[in-house]
């Protein structure tokens, strides 16, 4: 946890209560924390976002993982993680997106450390029969091969992103932003925005940045949902 962040007494109480349940190996819902600390669920979500998380669930699971990893224990139940992500509206949005473009080109682009996630998306989508491809060069865009253009960027602020987004839109592509910054130029220029959580920090006070990991989790959960919703009925 970043030592430069100032916490109010209420926020300290919330964090201490979460730590209490984790120390007892109990999984606790946001309603219980709100009741114990005499606060609203909104106050807990606000604290989670202050720490760089998408909401209470991510705050809880990362804290759970960190505390139990320190003690050398197996820290997370994958079924619980899956169930948590299946409730996310982002997973539903991405599931419906790939279904909508299942017979079109799915172009994927990125900047920065999330390049590895881009490569993962391309290869994994291909195993499901999607026509996914890298979109590194401007020559990848054409009106004859229009489809969906997915751009991954933590900040979504660099100028070269907008250049490619504008070319994609001119060629009839539906643009989707996967970004941590829902108010970024990338997000504002896109047809759809899926906010993916992460956090940036200095090396001397480094906190785990889960942006790339969350991109991959988003795809895996969406493909699982896609399989249940569209493939099993065939």
Q: CA-to-CA distance for 62 and 23, rounded, in angstroms?
A: 14
Q: What is the pTM of this model?
A: 0.68
Buried b (16+ CB within 10 A) or exposed e, 63-72: bbeeebeeee
Domains and CATH numbers, the chain: 9-76 (1.10.10), 89-231 (3.40.50.10490)
- How many Cα neighbours within 13 Å face the side chain of 78? 3
The confidence score (pLDDT) of residue 144 equals: 80
What DSSP state is assigned to residue 19?
A: H
pLDDT of residue 121: 95
Q: Could you report the per-residue pLDDT of 64-80, keeping only the tens digit for each?
A: 766 665 444 444 454 55
| DSSP-derived pairing of the beta strands 147-153 and 105-110 | parallel
Q: In what order do the strands lie in the sheet with 174-179?
A: 131-134, 105-110, 147-153, 174-179, 192-195
| One pLDDT digit (tens) per residue for the chain, 234 residues | 544 578 899 998 999 999 888 888 788 889 999 999 999 999 999 998 888 777 888 788 777 766 665 444 444 454 555 555 444 678 889 999 999 999 999 999 998 888 889 999 999 999 999 999 988 666 677 788 889 999 999 999 988 889 999 999 999 999 999 999 999 999 999 999 999 888 877 788 777 788 888 898 889 889 988 999 998 765
Tell me, what's the pLDDT at 89? 79
Q: Taking the CB of residue 117, how many other CB atoms lie within 10 A of it?
A: 22
Residue 233 confidence (pLDDT): 64
Residue 2's pLDDT is 47
Exposure letters 163-177 (e unless 16+ CB within 10 A, then b): ebbeebbebebbbbb
Residues 151, 155, 158, 163, Cα dihedral to 10°: 30
Closest CA to 211 of 225, 194, 231, 234: 194
Residue 27's pLDDT is 80
CA distance 186 to 159: 9
């Amino acid at each position: 946890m970043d030592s430069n962040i100032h916490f109010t007494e209420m926020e300290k109480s919330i964090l201490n209560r979460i730590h209490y349940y984790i120390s007892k190996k109990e999984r606790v819902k946001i309603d219980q924390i709100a009741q114990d600390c005499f606060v609203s669920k909104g106050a807990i979500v606000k604290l989670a976002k202050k720490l760089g998380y998408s909401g209470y669930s991510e705050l809880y699971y990362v804290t759970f993982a960190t505390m139990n990893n320190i003690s050398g224990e197996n820290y997370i139940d994958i079924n619980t993680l899956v169930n948590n992500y299946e409730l996310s509206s982002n997973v539903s949005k991405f599931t419906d997106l790939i279904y909508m473009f299942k017979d079109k080109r799915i172009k994927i682009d990125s900047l920065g450390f999330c390049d590895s996630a881009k490569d993962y998306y391309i290869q994994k989508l291909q195993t499901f029969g999607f026509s996914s491809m890298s979109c590194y060069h401007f020559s990848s865009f054409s009106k004859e091969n229009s489809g969906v253009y997915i751009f991954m960027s933590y900040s979504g602020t660099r100028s070269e992103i907008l250049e490619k987004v504008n070319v994609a839109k001119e060629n009839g592509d539906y643009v989707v932003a996967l970004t941590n910054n829902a108010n970024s130029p990338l997000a504002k220029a896109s047809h759809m925005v899926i906010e993916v959580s992460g956090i940036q920090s200095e090396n001397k006070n480094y906190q785990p940045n889960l942006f790339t990991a969350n991109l991959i989790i988003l795809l895996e959960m969406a493909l699982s949902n896609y399989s249940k919703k569209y493939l099993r009925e065939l």
